[in-house]
Amino acid sequence: MKAPTASHVPPDIPGISTFLNLCPNHPQTMNRRNFLRTSFLGTALAISPISFSAFGEPTRTAARPGCLNLSFQPYELKLRHAFNLAKNKRTTTPGVQVRLEYDGLIGYGEASMPPYLGESVESVTAFLSRLDLGQFSDPFRIEDIHAYMDSVAPDNRAAKASVDIALHDLLGKIMGQPWYKIWGLNPDNTPNTSYTISYQSDPAEMQKEIDECRPFRVVKVKMGVGHDKEIVEALRRSSDVPICVDANQGWSEKEHALEMCHWLAERGCLFVEQPMPKEMVDETAWLRERSPLPLVADEFLQRLPDVQRAHGVYDAINIKLMKSTGMHEAYKMAVLARALGMKVMLGCMTETSCAVTAAAQLSPMVDWADLDGNLLISNDRFDGLHIVDGKVVLPDRPGIGVELLG
């Protein structure tokens, strides 16, 4: 029997009955293009071919109306504190910033590539350089654009997300509306976001991280590094705020994982994210049957087909734009998970406010949010979502809702 868990309870999600047809084993399967036509806004806009340069300046042979130009440049994100994770330690995250320009409007996007994603600045810029989006006569054909990007190369999820985010920003600006309104979501229903801390060997640094999380109503604890109980005990000496735990695949023994779940349940934990290596499916299912806490799929889950694979193994999914190829597929994943009776968490990588605010457009439809990636870096380039008393507050700007600083 699972212990009751505190979570944000979202309202009914628009379009859920239509989306049930996207379940791969559903008898009334709907293909990708038909889903777009039944659920998305359509506007005819002509697009000319795109040209790229490797480091951010769009190549324009002539500035013609109706020409879509994509430019990109590497941008290393600097972490305010070192991330000590189960499998690595890092102080920076490689990234690529993207601009998509059309007829005087600019859409912003980004790719963030923590090591476990298997992408790099080189792979992202190489992928973006291969795209020819000029073949599409209508920029609202997001479904076809995604199918085309998948045909250019498999994987490259963060690279595809950068285009998807910029495209959503641009289209929202064309329509003059933020995406939460386009999706019919109520901004008052945004959840609290957690703030992430990880183990620091220096007690002063550990206390500094704990002090920084005081304005938040939920704290996310990174585990799986051999000091799992120490960080919780340090936090509990100064705060009784609810916690959620991300083991980052760090518990390889199912009996140990079960013992940790019981120990955490006694200390105000809401759920455990990716407790065991993603390959250990049977062991994770065994743990789920016995754990007093919900288990959330993270590294196990990438794109839409993985949602149904997670059903019965995990209680919830953690959707991140850098894994889902962006906002378009992330929305589908949330709706499908809800249809399967699973809870939904919305997460992020270490990112600027560009990608974090893009993800936050989905936040009124989820149970839990971990949207602090922009707060963990020291060189944000954008103003976007704000966190007020621990709660996600969406900007009322069109598109993804960000403004470039400076």
- C-alpha span between 388 and 221 (Å, rounded): 21
pLDDT in tens, 311-324: 999 999 999 999 99
CA distance 321 to 356: 9
**Per-residue pLDDT, 44:** 30
CA distance 12 to 184: 11
* Of residues 9, 5, 22, the one with CA closest to residue 331: 22
Q: Name which residue leads in pLDDT, 331 or 40.
A: 331
Judged by DSSP in three states, 122 sits in helix
pLDDT of the residue at 46: 30
Residue 108 pLDDT > 60, yes or no? yes
Share of the chain above pLDDT 90, in %: 65
- Choose among 231, 230, 233, 226: nearest CA to 86: 226
Over residues 185-235, the pLDDT tens digits come to: 999 999 999 998 887 778 888 888 888 888 999 999 998 877 889 989 999
Domains and CATH numbers, the chain: 47-176 (3.30.390.10), 181-404 (3.20.20.120)
- Provide the mean pLDDT of the chain: 84
343 versus 55: which is more confidently predicted? 343
Burial class (CB in 10 A: 0-12, 13-18, 19+), 121: middle
40 touches 141 (CB < 8 A): no
CA distances (Å), origin 333, targets 168, 255, 285: 17, 31, 21
Task: Give 110-146 pLDDT, tens digit per residue.
Answer: 999 988 789 999 999 999 999 887 777 678 889 998 9
| Residue range 360-380, pLDDT digits in tens | 999 999 999 999 999 999 999
Average pLDDT estimate for 290-307: 97
Per-residue confidence (pLDDT) for residue 106, from 0 to 100: 94
Is the model's pTM score more than 0.85? no
Report the residue count for the chain. Answer: 406
What is the residue-wise DSSP string for 308-323? Answer: HHHBTTBSEEEE-HHH
